[in-house]
Structure 1
Amino acid sequence: MSIKKRLILSNIGMIVIPIVSLLILEVVAGYLFFYVLNRKPEGEDLQFFLTLRFGAIVMILVITNGLLTYYISRSIIEPINRLSLAAKKISEGDLDYSCATDLRDELGRLSNTFEEMRLKLKEADAIQEQYYLNRQELIASISHDLKTPLTSIKGYVSGIQDGVACTPEKLNRYMSKIEKNANDMDGLIDELFLYSKLDLEQLPFTFEKVKLNDYFEDYIEELSIKLEKEHGIAVLYHDRHGSYIVEADREKLNRVVMNITQNSLKYMDKTYKEIQVILSEDQYEAQVEIKDNGSGIAKNDLPYIFDSFYRTDTSRNSATGGTGLGLSIAKKIIEKHKGKIWADSEPGVGTSIYFTLKKVK
């Protein structure tokens, strides 16, 4: 019951209860006084009866008002005290103190709203703590990934300075290694810069209408020539002849497809290597599936592959290449397009990475 209704009923009770009680008292007391005790309704007996009746009226009013006031104030003050205590606990940093209640009145709703706020603060605190841990991990990952090629470069430079590269062939090999490691560092810095700009929402997006089937026909033609020549990988394109007009940033979309295909390249372990790009749609979205026949991803790794700096090779072996940011960048770009990205994989068979883009009517 709401506080307003309780106050109205309390005020009514303060009027009705004394009146009813007085009527009952009048009948019962009059019967006992005049008929049972055989007193006369006149003179001193009547005056004594009226005095008793007045005292009873005062007593009834005091008891009625006192009980109703106590009940109403208790039903209001107790929830306020609990809420005040909860506010104090939360202000002191105790986010585990619950103020949830089953009350259905205004104070009950206020307490439950306060409880929702407490839970959101607790969630935000957990996110902040996780963010701090992620930042520490990010710093450690950046340090590791920058230090590895830098150490290698220093080693080759020292070799050249010490005269180890004493032949033109050795010198060319050392210089090639230095160039490769420098390019790796440059790529890592570029990806870190892109990731940070996406994270800080400082990267501008230029959206336009893009017909995905035409886009992928051109992109796949160029990609297939490159992958087949450099890696011996066949690229197949499947178009289910739908209406694939979406709103997208072409440059950022290129980055998404490039990052996904590069991730697939790292885990190609079969004689016949293949990447498939499959377009499908529903009423509101176009879906892109990029499927490979590589080594696949273990189930316990699958939920984390879009996290920054996550690698399925926990040793962070550079043999597979990459920075651990590629799929994370792809996820951020797709989310900026108001789409979704996810993966499905079967170890030993291959991996499919899906993403969706909103269709333009």
Structure 2
Amino acid sequence: MSIKKRLLLSNIGMIVIPIICLFLVEIIGAYLLFVVFKGNPHGNELKFFISFRFIALALILVITNGLLTYYVSKSIISPIKKLSIAARKISEGDFEYSIVSNKRDELGELSNIFEEMRLKLKKAHEAQMQYEKNRQELIASISHDLKTPLTSIKGYIMGIQDGVANITEKLERYMNTIYKTVNDMGGLIDELFLYSKLDLQCVPFHYEKVDLHSFFADLVDELAFDLEKEQGSATLLANEGDSYLVEADREKLKRVVTNIIQNSLKYMDKDHKEIKVTLLSKPDEVIVEIKDNGSGIKKSDIPFIFENFYRTDTSRNSSTGGSGLGLSIVKKIIEEHGGAVWAESELGKGTSIYFKLKKVT
């Protein structure tokens, strides 16, 4: 019942209930006094009866008014108190105080709206806490990944200063190592910069119609040429009769494929390196699979490989290196396109990275 109806009925009750009660008191009192006890209707008993009626009326009005006021005020004040307590707890950072109401009045509706707000605030608070945790992990990872090459550079420079590299061949090797390390740091900083801009949605996307079959045909031909030098192979599998036309940023899409392939090649443990790209055309989307025959990923690691700076235990070594941001950048770019990315893997057999994009006509 709404508050308006409740107040209206309360006001009606304050009039009707005393009248009914006074009528009943008068009938019962008159019956007892003049019939049962045979009082004189024209004597002192009449005066007593009139005084009794006046006192009864006063008591009925006080009790009726008090009870109705208490009931109505309680039905309004109690939910307001709960809302006040909930608001205070939320202001103190406590999002666990629930105020779900099953009442069908304005305050019940307000309580349920407040409860929805509490749940959203709780979710936002948890997201903020997770963001803060990720930020701290990001800073720790950046510190680690920058400190390691800087320590290496410092060691080689000290070696040169101390005359350890006292022959031309050794000095050249030292300088080449320093150059490679600085170059790797430059790549890390570039990826950090791109990741930050993607995270802040500051990177402009220039969409155009892209035929994924032609797009991957060129990329796979180039990759196959490079892998032939290492007795490897790259192949493209697609039904040429199907349509693979999507709307995408060509440069960003190339960055996606490059990051996936570089990540695959980094963890190849076979003598014959193999990359297979498969295109699957569906009515509303195109699914791309990039499969390698590398070492594979543990099932427990697969849900986290697209997180920033996440690397499997075997990847933190000098032979693989990397910023740990490659697949995070892939995810952000694909999601900016309105698509999705995921992975399947089997230890010792290889990994497949999938992503899908919406098809256009």
Per the TM superposition, whether the score is higher than 0.5 is yes
In 1: Cα distance, 2:287 partner to 2:77 partner? 57
After TM superposition, the structure 1 stretch with the greater mean CA deviation from structure 2, 312-321 or 186-195, is 312-321
| Closer/same/farther in 2, CA of residues 115 and 285 from structure 1, 3 Å limit | same
The answer for the alignment partner of 1:57 in structure 2 is 57
After TM superposition, the structure 1 stretch with the greater mean CA deviation from structure 2, 81-90 or 34-43, is 34-43
The answer for the alignment partner of 1:238 in structure 2 is 237
In 1: Cα distance, 2:192 partner to 2:254 partner? 18
The answer for the alignment partner of 1:312 in structure 2 is 312
| Closer/same/farther in 2, CA of residues 138 and 316 from structure 1, 3 Å limit | same
In 2: Cα distance, 1:151 partner to 1:228 partner? 36
The answer for the alignment partner of 2:141 in structure 1 is 141
| SS of 1:243 mapped into structure 2 | coil
**Is 1:267 the counterpart of 2:267 in the alignment?**
yes
Q: CA RMSD in A?
A: 2.4
The answer for the alignment partner of 1:182 in structure 2 is 182
| SS of 2:271 mapped into structure 1 | coil
Cα distance, 1:166 vs. partner? 4.2
The answer for the alignment partner of 1:323 in structure 2 is 323
In 1: Cα distance, 2:301 partner to 2:58 partner? 79
Equivalenced residue count is 360
Deviations 1:103-150 (A, max 9, x none): 443223323332333333333333333323322222222222222222
Deviations 1:233-279 (A, max 9, x none): 32221224433222211100111111111111122122332222122
In 2: Cα distance, 1:57 partner to 1:5 partner? 26
| Closer/same/farther in 2, CA of residues 119 and 38 from structure 1, 3 Å limit | same
Deviations 1:289-320 (A, max 9, x none): 21222111112211111111111026721211
| Closer/same/farther in 2, CA of residues 8 and 356 from structure 1, 3 Å limit | farther
| Closer/same/farther in 2, CA of residues 273 and 71 from structure 1, 3 Å limit | same
**Is 1:2 the counterpart of 2:19 in the alignment?**
no
Query: Please, what TM-score do these two structures have when normalized by structure 1?
Result: 0.90
* Structure 1 segments (4+ residues) deviating >6 Å: none
In 2: Cα distance, 1:159 partner to 1:274 partner? 40
| Closer/same/farther in 2, CA of residues 92 and 225 from structure 1, 3 Å limit | same
| SS of 2:38 mapped into structure 1 | coil
In 2: Cα distance, 1:238 partner to 1:12 partner? 82
| SS of 2:78 mapped into structure 1 | helix
In 1: Cα distance, 2:213 partner to 2:14 partner? 79
The answer for the alignment partner of 1:114 in structure 2 is 114
Which amino acid counterpart does residue 237 of structure 1 have in structure 2? L
| SS of 1:356 mapped into structure 2 | strand
Cα distance, 1:330 vs. partner? 0.7
Cα distance, 1:7 vs. partner? 2.1
In 2: Cα distance, 1:359 partner to 1:5 partner? 57
In 2: Cα distance, 1:320 partner to 1:3 partner? 69
| Closer/same/farther in 2, CA of residues 73 and 208 from structure 1, 3 Å limit | same
After TM superposition, the structure 1 stretch with the greater mean CA deviation from structure 2, 286-295 or 187-196, is 286-295
In 2: Cα distance, 1:235 partner to 1:30 partner? 110
Deviations 1:185-243 (A, max 9, x none): 111111111111111221111111222222222222222222333x4332221224433
2:315–2:321 contact (8 Å) kept in structure 1: no
